[in-house]
């Protein structure tokens, strides 16, 4: 699966994401406790645990589904099981990604699907660069995938670049004043804390490297 985005590859990526969020649940909760309502870690872990069960059901199908339907299923599961802002936002990301990817398996199609997922997040959350939200990790990561592929890079190159861009974007949220979501109620007091949603985005791209989707 070195340069192909198969259903099995996406399945591995999504499960690696669920594992990483479970491992980092306490950290995500601490980050949300500082500038939100301390439920992000538990919410995302609950949603992704349910998503893994949904993936099990899909994987048992014959023939096993392509990547797109698996992403769509995870998106619907997150929307229906996670409350607050994170469920609808991450759910919309995966739902739009899955609908855009459909049965396609190329890295270019994956890049377009990531772009569609980002557009869904923007449409729902109305966040812009520098608002101290998941957008600040997601937008640079999506751009990094596109840039790496346009330069002739492999899927592995693109996902490594995305992971780095997401981590940098996440770290860059620390000095920002939150302008969207619950953290924005804190105004200047949100400065000095890393955004939990951006942190979860960085775990998603790190999961790609852990899962073998990148070859």
Cβ proximity to Mg ion: between 39 and 131 the closer is 39
Token reading at 54? 């949904």
CA distances from 127 to 17, 119, 120, 132, 136 (A): 23, 10, 11, 9, 9
Cβ proximity to Mg ion: between 40 and 73 the closer is 40
Cβ proximity to Mg ion: between 35 and 172 the closer is 35
Cβ proximity to Mg ion: between 15 and 40 the closer is 40
Residue 45 CB, nearest distance to Mg ion (Å)?
13
Cβ proximity to Mg ion: between 32 and 195 the closer is 32
User: How far is residue 174's CA from residue 21's CA, in Å, rounded to a whole number?
Assistant: 20
Residue 177 CB, nearest distance to Mg ion (Å)?
18
Q: Which residue is nearest to Mg ion (CB)?
A: 36
Residues 3, 149 contacting (CB under 8 angstroms): no
Q: Which residues within the stretch 24-53 sit at the binding site for Mg ion (CB under 5 A)?
A: 32, 36-37, 39-40
Residues 2, 215 contacting (CB under 8 angstroms): yes
Residue 40 CB, nearest distance to Mg ion (Å)?
5
Rounded to the nearest 10 degrees, how much is the dihedral formed by the CA atoms of 23, 5, 93, 189?
40
Residue 39 CB, nearest distance to Mg ion (Å)?
4
Binding footprint of Mg ion, residue count (CB under 5 A): 5
Sign of CA dihedral 165, 212, 204, 142: positive
Residue 36 CB, nearest distance to Mg ion (Å)?
4
Residue 63 CB, nearest distance to Mg ion (Å)?
39
Show Cβ contacts of residue 200 under 8 Å, excluding neighbours closer than 6 positions: 21, 28, 40, 44, 86, 90, 134
Cβ proximity to Mg ion: between 36 and 120 the closer is 36
Q: Which is nearest to 55 in space by CA: 89, 9, 92? A: 9
Contacting positions for Mg ion (CB under 5 A): 32, 36-37, 39-40
């Amino acid at each position: 699966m070195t340069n192909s985005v198969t259903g099995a590859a996406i399945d591995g990526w999504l499960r690696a994401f669920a594992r990483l969020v479970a491992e980092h649940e306490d950290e995500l909760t601490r980050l949300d406790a500082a500038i939100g309502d301390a439920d992000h870690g538990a919410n995302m872990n609950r949603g992704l645990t349910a998503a893994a069960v949904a993936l099990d059901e899909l994987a048992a199908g014959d023939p096993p589904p392509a990547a797109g339907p698996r992403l769509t299923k995870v998106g619907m599961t997150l929307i229906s099981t996670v409350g607050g802002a994170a469920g609808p936002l991450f759910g919309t990301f995966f739902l739009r990604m899955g609908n855009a990817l459909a049965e396609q398996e190329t890295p270019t199609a994956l890049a377009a699907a990531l772009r569609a997922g980002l557009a869904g997040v923007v449409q729902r959350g109305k966040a812009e660069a520098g608002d101290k939200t998941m957008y600040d990790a997601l937008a640079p990561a999506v751009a990094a995938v596109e840039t790496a592929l346009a330069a002739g890079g492999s899927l592995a190159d693109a996902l490594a670049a995305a992971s780095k861009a997401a981590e940098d974007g996440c770290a860059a949220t620390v000095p920002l004043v939150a302008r969207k979501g619950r953290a924005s109620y804190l105004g200047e007091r949100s400065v000095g804390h890393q955004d939990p949603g951006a942190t979860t985005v960085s775990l998603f791209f790190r999961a790609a490297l852990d899962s073998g989707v990148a070859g």
